[in-house]
A and B are shown apart, each in its own frame.
Chain A
Amino acid sequence: MDPPPPPTPTGIPREAWEGCSVLLDINDGDRLAFFRLTPAATVKIGNRTCSLKPLVGRPFGTLFRVGPDGLVPCTTGDAPSRDDSMQDGADGQVQDETRDNRSLVDNNTAQNLSSDDIETMKRDGATGDEIVEALIANSSTFGKKTVFSQEKYKLKKQKKYAPKVLLRRPSTRRFMRVDTLSLLLSMANIGAYSDVLVVDMVGGLIAGAVAERLGGTGYVCSTYLGSAPSSIDIIRMYNLSSDTVSRIVQIPLSDLCSMGSSENTPSVLNGAAEREVVEPEDAQASLAQAVDMAVSDEKAQLSTEQPTDMEVSEPSLEVQDGNSSLDCRGGDGSIASKSKPGKRPSPEKMKYWKEHGFSSVIVAAPDHEIESLVADLLPLLSYSAPFAIYHQYLEPLAKCMHTLQVSKRAIGLQLSEPWLREYQVST
């Protein structure tokens, strides 16, 4: 098994290597799924099963089409993507002003080619693009459509007869609503060398995103309630280096809270109490909380974001070989197997955190009661450290904020709801 290519100076790998995790974008966002490029890995496109071997060594961002022998990288001459296919329609725009759909009748008679004709073409070796051209030529209504409508028709046929697969590098922004996640990372001042305390009940999304932004420095201490660690499986999708992965540790919250309680408290606390400085663990301005309102936002999400965003929230790791690759055991000698995330932190590290505090805390426990959770977490923070709490409901956050305001344990509290809308820009 080849090791991953040496990282570029910036540490972002630009090409896929054997055994790495990739995100395949099939037909321009219609289907997104994760795959691991093991030797036997395949993907099903339409009714064909194609090997993923041609993807190894290719740059991320490469588009593939389904050729007679499997996946083949597209050359610039191949069928264009949605972005530049609009150029063809430029001439037609003058005529568009007189075109509309008043004469279109949906009675299934517009297409003159039958499915048998198409099968014959396939057997004769016609490429997908040739079939699409033939369909267009044999459509009695195509010429009467507006430019946009013709475009839509062409894309629809292309997706069926000439599907495309885009090789993408997995990145954190694909999961949670990107604006929510990005705000949490900013507001918690995530950067190199931070020791970040995280309560991650979203599958490891937060822990992974924080680890990415730490770039192999600092620590992500993922803490959990009860005795069973919450799953952080998503992290395995990120192609994080072993350095980065080793910095993700897990420990029950009860252990964190009780650590060193019998030891001498650092002198600073005594000093602060003497001098009337009452609440040293003040939080920072406008960094407190991010709210993601499930009720109103879900509707917005469905209508404005690509439908696949809903799918990707539970990424499917499709690996078609015998190994239980999900565990990274069994022959997949990639680096992920050597350094699994989620080890327990060393006692030295815990002592350090007890004495120095965490740089910030992020809480993503969308179904959980947070007020008491926050009360347990705040004492673990450094003085003047920021914290960011995500919840899908407004009321628990409002209650928590009110309690914090009253107790004056934190300042600069802000309760916000991010709102993201995508625009369709015609060019």
Chain B
Amino acid sequence: MYRPSLVVTFTKKSSVKMAKLTSLFVILLSFFCISEAVFEDQVGKFDWRQQYVGKTLFAHFESNTQSSKKMFVATDKNIFASFNSRTGDLLWRHVDKTGPEGSIDILLLHGQDALMVVGDGRLLRSWDTNIGGLNWEAVLDTGSFQAACFVAIQDTVKLVAVLKKAAISLHYLSNGHQKWVENLPDSDAVQYQAVYSGGEEEVYVLGVVPNSHLTIIAYSLEDGEIIKQRSVEASWLSSIESSCVVVGQGVLMCVDPATLALYTLPIQAEETPEFSQILLQSLDLEVFPGFQPVLVSSQPHPARSPLSEFFLQLGPDHHVLLQLNADGYTIAPLRDFQPAFLVSFATTGKKTVAAVMTPKNETACAINLFSVDSGRRLLDTTVLFPLEPNGGKPHTLYVHAFLKKDDSVGYRVLVQTQDHALTFIQQPGRVVWTREEALADVVTMEMVDLPLTGTQAELEGEFGKKAAIQDGLFPMVLKRLSSQVTLLQAWLAHLWKLFYEARKPRSQVKNEVTIETLSRDEFNLQKMMVMVTASGKLFGIDSKSGSILWKHYLENVQPNAAFKLIVQRTTAHFPHPPQCTLLIKDKDTGLATLHVFNPIFGRKSHIALPALPRPILQSLLLPVIDQDYAKVLLLVDDQYKVTAFPSTKNVLQQLQEMASSIFFYLIRSDQGNLSGFRLRKDLSTERIWEVVLPTEVQKIVAVKGKRPNEHVHSQGRVMGDRSVLYKYLNPNLLAVVTESTDTHPERAFVGVFLVDGVTGRIIHEAVQRKARGPVHFVHSENWVVYEYWNTKSRRNEFSVLELFEGTELYNSTVFSSLDRPHLPQVLQQTYIFPSPITTMEATLTEKGITSRHLLVGLPSGAILSLPKMFLDPRRPEVVTEHSREENLIPYAPEMPIRTEWFINYNQTVARVKGIYTAPSGLESTCLVVAYGLDIYQTRVYPSKQFDVLKDDYDYVLISSVLFALFFATMISKRLAQVKLLNRAWR
């Protein structure tokens, strides 16, 4: 029935020695671990993946026919992708290097070819848009990229021109070979910013000396010879890019916000040309105060000159369609659009239309098509774009126009909103699909339990404290009876639903998850994933299906803001709704704001927020709860003053009582300073300890405490001789990782400090010599696992530190950092890991009984579930009776990577950035979410599903055996009785 779906291949080891190690490993492993791969029919049953591309920078549609299905986008995440425009599904996706090296400067589309300049003019690439294959790639000369355009020879597009800071080059479209390259004259003084070709024998390069003059150079297409070079006086012009476009028969149209005038200049003119000025006033146009006017033009085909119609944006919601008359220097206004947010040109066949988005009402915007020639509105072209109450405003409009069978113009429109969402709309206003591209950059997340169902909640309410006090005995009995009846009703309804659905074929049964039907399942396996994205959009995602249940866009979030998501109240306190708080901190000013919301419905809570006038240094969630069961959040500002949230009287009183036992720490990595503070009764603080790591030697790169919701089931480890080695379980322990400032491979080191966060005592200080970062580490229970780069052996290594108190506990009842005079024993071991890693996290379960695994995100996109058993510093060099008794794996220097350990089989997670683990209601099961460019959710069972019956459990067999035994007992009992009776008679 089950077939393993994975083909296991081991990576080839280069040296024979390594191969020997590996083979030995495999043999050893087979004793200790049973394979845990996914079976073929389990694929997608408990897991899902969503792929994203990021914020769209360029978008193009395939050819302009009604039936075309493809669209292409290039994004800020350095991704070139194609969508199916009918469904919004990803057809293919190319993920380039991160950072400026892979950034996409421009995307041009012509026929089947998509041209792309990558990495600030480093590479020119051509893609086949049908299959997404690379046609060719050409390495361009150095120099920063300025502009690019297609160049046509005799009405066919054959070349592409790339303008760099100091050179222009022409490349053939067919193979990417360079036709010619020419250095631009006087490129130190002149800023060349635009390149224009209108189907003539020349290609024009436009440059500007800011506030002085404009330079026009015409190059011959044939050999790159300069045909003409003109210089035009333009003291008002500072940038061609931002204020000029080419319209009509090669006329440069510029707008000057200072003089409020349009300037026109024929580029191709033979004699020395001059700008002619047209005052906006003469056209009865007025610029919104303080607004920089923007020109928008369109060149439908690279072999022809651009349209003589163009848009001029005069204000945030004011556009005008203008036409350049045939004489080349007079302008006629065609139509005034006010209010109008967005405009866009679209061409199909010979017709060009303009799409204009206007606000309709609170909840929708209307998009209309207008004929470009006349400015008349085309009939029956209205499309409604729904505005979500907590969504972003429309940002860009991409229009796909096509000719219908009756030769009228039809269109579909792609709207990009400020929150990076893409919405595709068809006439007459049906939203075909929406892609939430903000999810390509998840910053932090939490998983929140779903609420109980209505009936369960009612029961909870019945036995709530408040109810019992208010009501007498008789109403309580009545309430009890009524809730029993509702329970019975719910059960009957459930039975009926089961019966009803059982009759239907399985494919038709759809379990649509909506926000109304959300309720906790039997084992709490379904949770709400609250995801915070870099753009400031929050999402609530159902962990079972991956469907987005709510979204909330926070406007005014700075692009470099840091987020911290805190669950202040879980779902457990019915009737109080759960409460999450998002701390948003501006990295430049340090000023913070709070956003408090209900994580199940995404609604903003209307709670009085504390005023935070000063930069916030640290936030800490206390186990103290207020009368509404919300945990107290303390915010420490730069004057070490503490603000409590919520700050009711009850809370302040509790804080005063507990003040002397509330300690916190602050870390200033720029000064290498770690310091501890104690709260005073008046909510001021006093500095009580200070540790300083000199920044000349090493710098602090990361600090991690333990997760507050982590449970450790066993206090110690039973050794081979039946004695117990107690773990050092200090909940206040901080792992501080440093890297040396000296980066020489021989002298570089990575430091690991274990510091008690209350007393500032350095529990352990280890130095990994000849090592450098990036260091990834996990700190949990009594261990720290870190991974670094060994500069001497040039390989990645894992090291594990475990802390033990010894064979006797100092104080077994309670742990206090203030009363642990003895330092723990520290054991450490190091292993070779055959791959670099990008992120690491440990599994987490409800009670901590299940053995732990490390989840390691690899650059390949795989997520490796590595048993912690392999990272155990007590692995013996030499196998003894005791170590065998303890089930310790003999030490081997190399850590294996087995492909069955990839929990995401072939569902790779591109650029995995973080892994989040959460316990479920089942002890054996841990929920895992890996996020990066993609989001992947699954479950892992580190110790197998010991508390769950298998899918193929044979109920028939077991029950028939039971029955058979039962009857056998009955019969044999009867027989025995008869026999006894007979014997008695004898």
A and B from one complex: no
Binding site for B on A (CB under 8 A): none
Binding site for A on B (CB under 8 A): none
